[in-house]
Structure 1
């Protein structure tokens, strides 16, 4: 039974069998019986430190959706995680964490950055995703946009439509303004050279 733990670029968390390339954490989003039924509560976060982690680290083992433990979320690749509002973990992805914050222009406590990122990605009380508009020509590689057909990744001068199972064949990037899913602090990091791990083809 697929569990409701696959995060989409739009912020939705769905139940599909596709395995993710990265793990995420937003706190406890399931109830005490979720290990058996696999569904989340209405909550979509419990704290502001939304991290993106590697799948394996120091031989640690976890029981999915265990009572009183954080809910294991999964992303198809890092670009999806960034669009959904996550950042690299400082423990299991230290080099990426340091590179990301440097590219984002942040100095100081990471809690301050998490507060700024949270304001750019989330709509309080409704647990919704905050989005904005921008000219497609100005968007860096690694950005997710929302089209009439669904979310799509900007990568290497093309647009790659995204499905829960992965990317479809690339199409021409649209001209003009588009709806952007990737939050602004992460857009800064992408513009300044942070390159996410993307799983194409």
Structure 2
């Protein structure tokens, strides 16, 4: 049975058999039957590597956090998560945008405000000119979300990126990656990308 534990660039939790490169959590989101009952339970949304010191977990155990999976780190950032394994590198880039190194709690609070519309509990988006957006940013495409990479736009699917199209020279777009994270990407943070992006 395919579990509902894959994350889209819009932050939705969907069922898909594709295996991603990263995992993360937003708290205990499932009931004892493994059904998703909430989009998040706390503000410290993280993304982590799939393997760490040989540890293994049984997925969606009652009373344990819900394991969520991402195609790659760029997608996790677009969905509003912050790195766990690369936290220090992310924090250094964040400091370049603000002038000081915030705590994880401060980063989480800022990201939460930028990623979620209160009460509706849906993804908050923002508008920007395409020329101002750095590599690793996700935008809303005509048919599917797209990743910006150099002079290309790569359409997303749960199993990888599709054939690229040229990145337009300008134009307003809807940005899925939270604004503070876009600033971190501009400051030089480079997320790990799925092999299909190359």
TM-score (norm 1): 0.92
Match of 1:116 in 2: 110
Trace 1:22-37 onto structure 2 (pairs within 5 A).
22-34=22-34
**Alpha-carbon offset, residue 22 of structure 1:** 0.2
**Residue of structure 2 aligned with 1:71, choices 63, 66, 69:** 66
CA distance in 2, matches of 1:110, 1:56: 22
RMSD of Structure 2 on Structure 1 (CA) = 1.0
Match of 1:195 in 2: 190
**Alpha-carbon offset, residue 200 of structure 1:** 3.5
Trace 1:7-156 onto structure 2 (pairs within 5 A).
7-34=7-34, 39-41=35-37, 43-89=38-84, 93=85, 96-105=86-95, 106-156=100-150
**Alpha-carbon offset, residue 108 of structure 1:** 3.3
**Alpha-carbon offset, residue 199 of structure 1:** 1.0
Q: CA deviation digits over 1:146-194, x for unaligned, max 9?
A: 0221100000221001112210111011331000000011111100110
TM-score (norm 2): 0.93
- Give SS of 1:53's match: strand
**Alpha-carbon offset, residue 66 of structure 1:** 0.2
* Matched residue count: 191
**Alpha-carbon offset, residue 69 of structure 1:** 0.1
Q: Is 1:183 matched up with 2:173?
A: no
- The gaps in structure 1 that reach 5 residues or longer are none
